[in-house]
C-alpha cells in the first residue's frame, strides 16, 4: 500500500482509505455490525490503515463500528478521519434532508457547525471511537447559518487541546476554502470525484494544487456503479438511496457500462478488477491524494 501526506501536515494516510458510510447502514438498506467490523479489519491487514467515518453515518453506528474494529490495533498504526456539522438530534442550522434512521424512525438532519455544537460532537465521536484524539476532523457540509470563523475557531481550540490533530473540509468549493483559510489552515478537502463525475477539475483541483491542499475523493467507484456489477435491472434493498439516484437510472447505467467495457481489457491485462483499475486511475489524477472505498462485508 502507498501512503501519502495530507497537505502541509505530517499526517500520512493510505492512498486507499476505508470509507465507512455504508458500514453504518443508514441510506444503504442495512448493515451487519460484525461483518462491517471484519471488513475494516481485513482492509487493515492489507495495508488500509486509514478509516473515514462520520457521526451521521447510522447516527453514531459507523463510528461505533470503527471503534470496535480498531480497539486491538495500536493507536499510532491507524488514522481516524471523522466529521462534524450534520445534526439529527437538534433543529439548528439549515435543514439538509428528511430521512429515516436504521430503525425506520423519521429524522430531520440539519447542517449546523456552531462552536458549542462542534465541541459536543467531538466529545461524542471520541467516546464512540474509543480514542482520545482524531487525526483529521472535517466539516461535513458548509453551514451558511454560522460564521465560518466561528466554526474554525472551535476546531482550532480542539487542536490546541490535543483532541484533533488536523482540520479538513468536505464539499467546499474553492471560494469557501479560501474563506476558511483566514481562520485556520486546513490540510484537505473531501469531495466527490469519479470517472463520471469530474466537475471539481475546473476550479477546486487547481486551487488545491496551488495551495497545497490534499483532495480526498469520495465515491470514486460512484457508489458501486464503476465496479461493473450494476446493470439496468439491478434491484436495490429497501432503504438504499441509490434506487432514486440519477446515476442509477437505466440510461446512465447503460452508458457507464459501455465505458467500462472499453477499459476492461486494460484491467484484464494487469490481472485487476474494474474496481481496482478505477481506484488506481483516481489516485493518479492531478491533485487527488486519496480515494475512499467503502465496504459493508
Whether 186 is covered by a domain: the verdict is yes
pLDDT, position 255: 86
- Considering the candidates 44, 57, 172, 218, report the single residue annotated as catalytic: 57
Whether 266 is covered by a domain: the verdict is no
> What's the chain's average pLDDT?
91
Whether 69 is covered by a domain: the verdict is yes
Q: CA–CA separation, 1 vs 263, rounded Å? A: 23
CATH assignment of the domain containing 21: 3.20.20.100
pLDDT, position 13: 97
Beta strand pairing call for 106-111 and 86-87: antiparallel
Residue 196 has pLDDT above 60, yes or no: yes
Whether 256 is covered by a domain: the verdict is no
Whether 261 is covered by a domain: the verdict is no
Whether 263 is covered by a domain: the verdict is no
The C-alpha cell that represents 266 in the structure block: 486494460
| Cα separation of the two ends of the chain | 20
Residue 28 has pLDDT above 80, yes or no: no
3-state secondary structure 16-28: EEEECCHHHCCCE
pLDDT, position 25: 67
57 flagged as catalytic: yes
Cα dihedral 99→104→106→110 (10° resolution): -40
Whether 231 is covered by a domain: the verdict is no
Q: Cβ distance 31 to 61 under 8 Å?
A: yes
Q: Cβ distance 248 to 230 under 8 Å?
A: yes
The tally of domains found in the chain comes to 1
Residue 146 lies in domain:
3-224+276-294
Tens digit of each residue's pLDDT (9 = 90 or more) over 263-290: 999 999 999 999 999 999 999 999 999 9
Whether 110 is covered by a domain: the verdict is yes
| Ordered alpha helix ranges (H), 130-273 | 148-160, 174-181, 204-210, 250-269
pLDDT, position 174: 95
According to DSSP, residue 96 is labeled E
- % of the chain exceeding 90 in pLDDT: 74
What are the backbone dihedrals phi and psi of residue 3, each rounded to the nearest 5 degrees, phi first? -120, 140
| Ordered alpha helix ranges (H), 103-248 | 115-129, 148-160, 174-181, 204-210
Q: CA–CA separation, 41 vs 257, rounded Å? A: 31
204 vs 101, residue with greater confidence:
204
pLDDT, position 235: 75
pLDDT, position 104: 84
Q: What's the angle, vertex CA 78, arms to CA 152 and CA 132, rounded to 5?
A: 55
Sheet holding 94-100, edge to edge: 86-87, 106-111, 94-100
Amino acid at each position: 500500500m502507498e501512503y501519502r501526506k495530507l497537505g502541509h501536515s505530517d499526517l500520512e494516510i493510505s492512498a486507499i482509505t476505508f470509507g465507512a458510510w455504508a458500514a453504518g447502514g443508514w441510506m444503504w438498506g442495512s448493515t451487519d455490525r460484525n461483518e462491517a467490523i471484519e471488513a475494516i479489519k481485513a482492509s487493515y491487514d492489507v495495508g488500509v490503515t486509514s478509516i473515514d467515518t462520520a457521526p451521521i453515518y447510522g447516527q453514531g453506528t459507523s463510528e461505533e463500528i470503527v471503534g470496535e474494529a480498531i480497539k486491538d490495533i495500536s493507536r499510532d498504526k491507524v488514522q481516524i478521519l471523522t466529521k462534524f456539522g450534520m445534526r439529527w438530534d437538534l433543529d439548528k442550522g439549515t435543514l439538509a434532508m428528511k430521512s429515516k434512521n436504521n430503525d425506520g424512525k423519521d429524522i430531520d438532519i440539519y447542517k449546523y457547525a456552531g462552536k458549542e455544537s462542534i465541541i459536543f460532537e467531538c466529545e461524542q465521536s471520541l467516546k464512540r471511537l474509543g480514542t482520545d484524539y482524531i487525526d483529521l476532523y472535517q466539516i461535513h457540509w458548509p453551514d451558511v447559518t454560522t460564521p465560518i470563523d466561528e466554526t474554525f475557531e472551535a476546531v482550532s481550540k480542539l487542536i490546541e487541546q490535543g483532541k484533533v490533530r488536523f482540520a479538513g473540509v468536505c464539499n467546499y468549493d474553492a471560494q469557501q476554502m479560501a474563506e476558511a483559510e483566514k481562520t485556520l489552515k486546513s490540510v484537505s478537502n473531501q469531495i466527490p470525484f469519479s470517472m463520471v463525475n469530474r466537475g471539481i477539475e475546473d476550479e477546486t483541483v487547481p486551487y488545491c494544487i496551488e495551495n497545497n491542499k490534499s483532495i480526498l475523493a469520495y465515491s470514486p467507484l460512484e457508489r458501486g456503479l464503476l465496479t461493473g456489477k450494476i446493470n439496468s435491472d439491478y434491484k436495490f434493498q429497501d432503504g438504499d438511496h441509490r434506487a432514486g439516484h440519477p446515476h442509477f437510472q437505466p440510461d446512465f447505467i447503460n452508458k457507464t457500462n459501455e465505458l467500462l467495457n472499453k477499459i476492461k481489457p486494460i484491467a484484464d491485462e494487469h490481472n485487476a478488477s474494474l474496481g481496482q483499475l478505477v481506484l488506481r486511475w483516481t489516485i493518479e489524477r492531478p491533485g487527488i491524494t486519496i480515494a475512499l472505498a467503502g465496504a459493508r462485508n
